[in-house]
Amino acid sequence: MVQSAVLGFPRIGPNRELKKATEGYWNGKITVDELFKVGKDLRTQNWKLQKEAGVDIIPSNDFSFYDQVLDLSLLFNVIPDRYTKYDLSPIDTLFAMGRGLQRKATETEKAVDVTALEMVKWFDSNYHYVRPTFSKTTQFKLNGQKPVDEFLEAKELGIHTRPVLLGPVSYLFLGKADKDSLDLEPLSLLEQLLPLYTEILSKLASAGATEVQIDEPVLVLDLPANAQAAIKKAYTYFGEQSNLPKITLATYFGTVVPNLDAIKGLPVAALHVDFVRAPEQFDEVVAAIGNKQTLSVGIVDGRNIWKNDFKKSSAIVNKAIEKLGADRVVVATSSSLLHTPVDLNNETKLDA
């Protein structure tokens, strides 16, 4: 039976609740507990909405107070020294890295004056992310367990989710070396980072997660040989570990054909491909799928507010079923729905 999946859900809220709450916190109008409550309420609302809509595979850890790449930097302790010297709370560290922080001294707190990390465009979308900055003194360690906490949060609601993580190769490749370590190649840190991913994946498995979605969007880029080799190395490493959740390797925003050699034979349960942006890759992708692997067919546009072309989409899905069988096909959004509004009824200024 064909299942349905959503790769990620808009976190802003139907009435921009997240934007209002974060700005309220930055301006001192609401407390951190009030901010966290808005986040929890939005996550609950999003999970329930998808459950009620009949979505089979619902994402978790797709929520962020800033952006999902910055969340990983905080999770893995990729925090430049200029932020750690202020002894900020995790959420204030996140915001300081994302937007800078200037705060006058009080009787209980010293003054803070720190600029933000670099913000760059998220592929060809209108979204931006805070670029990870690595140095020779970077020491990976886990700061909390956000992916696990949010999986358990959904589990308490009776909703079994598929946690989402940006993959290790994309995380490193999209980062940069700090100015004091300009000769550092971020991908050279892969061996140090992989055990941290394994630790989080193991914690997710212990919490009851049976499957995780690991996003490697760099697989649609013209990757150099060392990045392709890093993909092989990372997922071979995961395949050698025991008791981890099944992995769906997710790509989006383009064709993976130039990097198929790096993808072929990886020990992952499923491959997600964006057939909205690159339908022409279908035959080559299907030919590369392993005999026991599932193909997640990205045919619901994650970046378009308009209704899907059902005839066009169903033709691709039916072709996949014909080639692989219904039990090895998942119908999915092409990418996360992050780039779209939650409810068109609240969007009154869209072009006709």
pLDDT, tens digit, for every residue of 44-77?
999 999 999 999 999 999 999 999 999 999 999 9
Average pLDDT over residues 295-319: 89
pLDDT at 343: 52
Query: Does the pLDDT of residue 308 top 90, yes or no?
Result: no
pLDDT at 1: 87
pLDDT at 234: 99
Q: Which of 73-87, 119-133, 299-313 has the lowest mean pLDDT?
A: 299-313
Average pLDDT over residues 228-234: 99
Query: Does the pLDDT of residue 227 top 80, yes or no?
Result: yes
The structure tokens 């499923």 sit at: 270
Task: Look at strands 270-274 and 246-250 and give their pairing.
Answer: parallel
pLDDT at 350: 45
Can you tell me whether residue 333 is helix, strand or coil? strand
pLDDT, tens digit, for every residue of 35-46?
999 999 999 999
Query: Does the pLDDT of residue 6 top 70, yes or no?
Result: yes
Query: Does the pLDDT of residue 349 top 90, yes or no?
Result: no
Q: Nearest to residue 250, comparing CAs of 229, 234, 273?
A: 273
> Is residue 304 very low, low, confident or very high in pLDDT (cuts 50, 70, 90)?
confident
Q: Nearest to residue 166, comparing CAs of 305, 341, 338, 343?
A: 338
Q: What class, spelled out in words, does domain 3-66+117-345 have in CATH?
A: alpha beta
CA triple 275-317-5, angle to 5 deg: 75
Higher pLDDT, 154 or 303: 154
Q: Nearest to residue 298, comparing CAs of 290, 281, 306?
A: 281
> Is residue 23 very low, low, confident or very high in pLDDT (cuts 50, 70, 90)?
very high
The per-residue pLDDT of the chain, averaged, comes to 94
Average pLDDT over residues 255-271: 98
Sorted by where each begins, the domain ranges of the chain are 3-66+117-345, 81-116
Query: Does the pLDDT of residue 24 top 70, yes or no?
Result: yes
Residues 143 and 127 sit within 8 Å (Cβ to Cβ): no
Q: Residue 28 and residue 22: Cα distance in Å, rounded?
A: 10
Residues 296 and 272 sit within 8 Å (Cβ to Cβ): yes
pLDDT at 342: 60
Provide the token pair at 227. 């990045």
Q: How far is CA 28 from CA 17, 35, 38, 259, in A?
A: 16, 11, 15, 47
pLDDT, tens digit, for every residue of 170-218?
999 999 999 989 999 999 999 999 999 999 999 999 999 999 999 999 9
> Is residue 109 very low, low, confident or very high in pLDDT (cuts 50, 70, 90)?
confident
CA 343 to chain centre: 22
pLDDT at 303: 85
Q: Residue 283 and residue 141: Cα distance in Å, rounded?
A: 41
